[in-house]
Structure 1
Amino acid sequence: MDFYYLPGSAPCRAVQMTAAAVGVELNLKLTNLMAGEHLKPEFIKINPQHCIPTLVDGDFSLWESRAIMGYLVEKYGKDDSLYPKEPRKRALVNQRLYFDHGTLYQRFADFVYPQVFAKQPADPEKEKKMLDALEFLDKFLEGGKYVAGDSLTIADLSILATISSFDVAKIDLSKYANVSSWYARLRKDAPGAAINQAGIEEFAKYFAK
């Protein structure tokens, strides 16, 4: 399977961890967005939305990291533990994935990326919204080891990639005890943890510029 990606991207790292969890080897296709490689006709033919991550499995193309993660588990997973089929368990995993996509990661990007890529000053209102999202996550983790139930799921892998980016951006996680303990454990024990670590080291280079 071809996987078009950037190693520093949290959504890309989440997919790579999922692939590691189900034992699938990805044929990595480094895609330089700054050089416009995602706008080349051959890539647009694969993905007209021209975004990464993008997975190509035979004659099937798929983008949006959380959709790719679900696909990998359903097609290649040995069981459904990472993405349960039971309706309520799956609904909870989906809710956490949507929370990551639309709230946690989005608010991080809204606050951090303008500072890093456009050299804009920090926006206090956007910072507050981002920290509110961390409070929500801390609440989700109350009394549990994982973000969506009592076992590891793709929601953990997606949110781990996001929280790793918070860490690189020097967002203080120590105020969120449940998030901090979950992050300390998963950054070492999650499938593909070493891949995630290598990716966040690449992401950190943007902050050194």
Structure 2
Amino acid sequence: MTTPIKLYRTPKSGHCHRVELMLAFLGLPYETVDLDMANGAHKAPEFLKISPFGLVPAIDDGGYTLADSNAILVYLVQTYAKGSHWLPQAPKDAAEVQRWLTVAADNVYSGPCAARLVTVFNAPLDHAAAVRKAHDLFRVMDAHLAGRDWLATEEITIADVAGYSFIAHAPEGGVDLAPYGNIRGWLSRIERQPGFVGMATSPIPELV
């Protein structure tokens, strides 16, 4: 591979970060293209050819374009690390990975992601409801991670990558991670992986 993959992103987006994290873990050359979303760059005709719904992240891999963070994770592993622990092929393991990808797209999105959208991006969402959903999710996840290192299998997979960004940054949305020791241990294990890159941080709000 000689041409870097282009990653269209906004730096504080957890969805964008999960793709950048996967690129880094796989050791793939990439370059980031930061979109001025406040001024509508994500709705420009040129970008809509890459991401028809006007959403980030999106990638351009040698002319092949794809949007949706979880879809991009699957594409990257199937293209550049097929058969690896990142996306197992055994039916039960593959099903477990898919289950946690769904959690990332649903429970994580409506919980810690939504809470952070309010505090970091001033999104018009119900912050209290998002915080409640985050804690509901974290109680289940913390119990699930008792006695195990990773969400889906005995090795790290794209399920862990998909869940990491918004959960690691949940405090920026006013969601305290202190009660969830197993989750915090899981986050630390991800951060110790070779190639790990962090996401841009925002101030942690003082909520009453």
Question: C-alpha offsets along residues 143-187 of structure 1, whole Å, 9 cap, x if unaligned?
Answer: 100111210111111211121221333521121121121123322
Match of 1:190 in 2: 193
Q: CA–CA distance in 2 between the matches of 1:27 and 1:157?
A: 19
Using the TM superposition, give the Cα deviation of residue 131 of structure 1 relative to its aligned residue in structure 2, in angstroms.
0.7
Change (3 A) 1:191 1:95: farther
Q: CA deviation at 1:12?
A: 1.0
* Distance of 2:45 and 2:138 partners within structure 1: 39
Moved more, 123-132 or 30-39: 123-132
Higher normalized contact order (CA 8 Å, seq sep 6+, divided by chain length): 1
Q: Which runs of 5+ in 2 are unaligned?
A: none
Structure 2 counterpart SS, 1:29 = strand
- Correspondences of 1:108-119 after superposition (within 5 Å): 108-118=112-122
Amino acid across the alignment from 2:68: E
Q: 1:77/1:130 Cα in 2 relative to 1: closer, same or farther (>3 Å)?
A: same
Q: Could you tell me which of 127, 139, 147 is aligned with 2:143?
A: 139
The structure 1 residue matched to 2:155, chosen from 128, 131, 151, is 151
* C-alpha contact 1:31 1:37 (8 A) present in aligned 2: yes
User: For this pair of structures, how many residues does the alignment match?
Assistant: 202
Structure 1 pair 135–84 and aligned structure 2 pair: CA distance change class (3 A): same
Per-residue CA distance 1:66-93 (angstroms, 9 max, x = gap): 1101110110116421111111111101
Cα shift readout 1:17-44 (whole Å, capped 9, x = no counterpart): 1111222111211112112111111111
Superposition CA RMSD, Å: 2.3
Shift in CA distance, 105/80, structure 1 to aligned 2, threshold 3 Å:
same
| Partner SS, residue 46 of structure 1 | coil
More helix by share: 1
SS at match of 1:34: helix
Cα distance in structure 1, aligned partners of 2:109 and 2:53: 20
What SS is found at the alignment partner of 2:39?
coil
Q: Is the 8 A contact 2:18 2:69 kept in 1?
A: yes
Question: SS where residue 12 of structure 1 aligns?
Answer: helix
Residue in structure 1 matching 2:90, options 86, 90, 102: 86
Matched-pair identity in % = 27
Partner of residue 180, structure 1? 184
Residues 134 and 185 of structure 1: CA distance in aligned 2, closer, same or farther (over 3 Å): same
